Amino acid sequence: MKIAKIDIIPLAIPFKFGGKPYGWGKQAWSRLNTTLVRIETDSGLVGWGDAFSYSSRRAIQGILEEMVVPILIGEDATDISGLMHRLQKDLHLFGRYGMIIHALSGVDIALWDIAGKAAGMPLCNLLGGRVRNDLIGYSSLFKYNDPELVAEKTRTSLDQGFGLVKLHETGVAEVAAARQEAGQEIPIMVDTNCPWTAAEAYQMAMKLKPYDLLWLEEPLFPPEDFAALANLGARTGVAIAAGENACTAYQFREMFRAGAVTYAQPSVTKVGGITEFRKISTLAAINSVQLMPHSPYFGPGFLATLHLTAAEANPGYIEWFYLDREACLYGDAIKPNKGFYQVPPGPGLGLEPDPNVIKDYCIHDE
Ligand SMILES: [Mg+2]
């Protein structure tokens, strides 16, 4: 079964989150961007993946079209490990971490979708897991910088059945507002997205400690300073989560060697796809680290996260970006039910993206 055709499809779906504009690089974030990878084999099977690309989609598209697709055409689609090793090796001089590996992640997910379809099995079964209907989701709130809005979104999340809530905030007042709204029993996590020095992070972790966080996520810059993360967790007694900015099992090996985290957060659209995620999963298990997959996505990467989590002996929680999307690639099929997720039971990733959503939200160069 040879790879016959690869299409790279940049997609942007507008969303609303009910707060003041927020974004990176002076651009307000108003659309969920991703780069879909569609791989077709000579037997007619089609697989879908996506590569992380919030504001990097032109770069990711360029990497895929110019550097990756020419290597893959005509190759055996079932040789996933071999192809991913070859791609990483051939492209290593362009950087081992970051956009090259993000781009490869989309290819890997699509190849595993094909493998599941060829076997007539859901991906989680192919990975040695089982289709399960009890994956616990958590509401991952956008950044509001506003205690009242944080309290309001915490309340609506709980009213919709979520049993855990994660904030993207760096202020004590916002965390206090969420804790007051949620009461003492609901686990709350705080994702800070790498803002602080080690000294600042220590001070902030101690200020946040009274709010009894399940975890404090990415408190340090740079995120790969694993020794400083380990030191922070040991000194404060606050559980640290990190890993969404790490790529490949090798970076996670260093993270675990340093004892940097209680919760590891590999992102299937960033680490190198399902192949690397599975290696990270094994490393985490033998180092007694709990996986908590990073998955604020809405495409094939989200489905892959459901399957990977269903194949875990100790499944982590599923991150659900708490936003109002203008459209969804899978309609209502991946919406949470009272805070829980079902793994799509079909072969491969289990669902096919809606061609009308792709047509309507595909970006043509502006
Ligand atoms: Mg995060």
The pLDDT tens digits of the residues spanning 272-299 come to 999 999 999 999 999 999 999 999 989 9
Predicted pLDDT of residue 25: 66
Task: Give the residue extent of every domain in the chain.
Answer: 3-120+354-361, 125-341
DSSP-assigned beta bridge partners for residue 122: 348
Q: How far is the CA of 4 from the centre of ligand 1 (A)?
A: 36
CA distances from 200 to 166, 194, 204, 205, 239 (A): 21, 11, 6, 8, 17
Digit-coded pLDDT (tens) for 217-262 = 999 999 999 999 999 999 999 999 999 999 999 999 999 999 999 9
Distances (CA, A) of 171 to 146, 175, 179, 208, 274: 9, 7, 13, 9, 35
Q: Which fold has domain 3-120+354-361?
A: Enolase-like; domain 1 (3.30.390)
- What is the average per-residue pLDDT within 326-345? 93
Whole-number Å distance, alpha carbon 215 to ligand 1 midpoint, is: 11
Alpha-carbon distance of 279 to 289, in angstroms, equals 13
pLDDT at 290: 98
**CA atoms in the 13 A half-sphere facing the CB of 284:** 28
**Please, what is the end-to-end C-alpha distance for the chain in angstroms?**
36
Distance 296 CA to ligand 1 centre (A): 9
Which residue spans within 44-179 are E strands per DSSP? 46-52, 135-141, 165-167
Summarised one tens digit per residue, pLDDT across range 34-56 is: 999 999 999 999 999 999 998 89
For residue 222, is the peptide bond before it cis, meaning its omega torsion is within 30 degrees of 0? yes
The alpha carbon of 266 and the centre of ligand 1 are apart by a number of angstroms equal to 10
Length of the chain: 366
Give the distance (Å) from ligand 1 centre to CA of residue 74.
Answer: 37
**pLDDT tens, position by position, 104-116:** 999 999 999 999 9
The four Cα atoms 223, 292, 23, 160 give a dihedral, to 10 degrees, of -160
Angle at Cα 155 formed by Cα 294 and Cα 24, nearest 5°? 45
**In this predicted structure, what is the pLDDT of residue 366?**
60
Going from the Cα of 195 to the center of ligand 1, the distance in angstroms, rounded, reads 12
Decide: 272 and 92 in contact? Cβ < 8 Å: no
Mean pLDDT of the chain: 96
Cβ count within 10 A of residue 36: 23
Tell how strand 165-167 and strand 135-141 pair up: parallel
% of the chain with per-residue pLDDT over 90: 91
Res 288: pLDDT: 97
Predicted TM-score (pTM) of this structure: 0.97
Portion of the chain with pLDDT greater than 70, in percent: 99
Beta-bridge mates of residue 15:
325
**pLDDT value at position 29?**
82
- In CATH terms, is domain 125-341 a member of 3.40.50.300? no
Q: What angle do CA 345, 331, 315 make, to 5 degrees?
A: 45
The rounded distance, in Å, linking the Cα atoms of 137 and 208 is 23
Q: Give just the sign of the alpha carbon dihedral 60, 63, 66, 72.
A: negative
Residue 205 pLDDT level (bands cut at 50, 70, 90): very high
User: Residue 73 Cα, ligand 1 centroid: separation in angstroms?
Assistant: 35
Out of 128-137, 183-192, 355-364, least confident range: 128-137
| 232-271-329-321 Cα dihedral, nearest 10 degrees | 0
pLDDT value at 23 more than 80: no
Strand partners, 225: none
Task: Give the whole-angstrom CA distance, residue 216 versus residue 222.
Answer: 15
In tens, the pLDDT along 72-127 reads: 999 999 999 999 999 999 999 999 999 999 999 999 999 999 999 999 999 999 99
pLDDT mean over 22-29: 73
Q: Ligand 1 centre from 78 Cα, in Å?
A: 33
Q: Does residue 138 have a pLDDT over 80?
A: yes
Separation of CA 76 and ligand 1 centre (Å): 35
Q: How far does the centroid of ligand 1 lie from the alpha carbon of residue 166, in Å?
A: 9
Is 125-341 the same fold as 3-120+354-361?
no
C-alpha of residue 212 to centroid of ligand 1, in Å:
18
Which amino acid would we find at residue 320? Answer: W
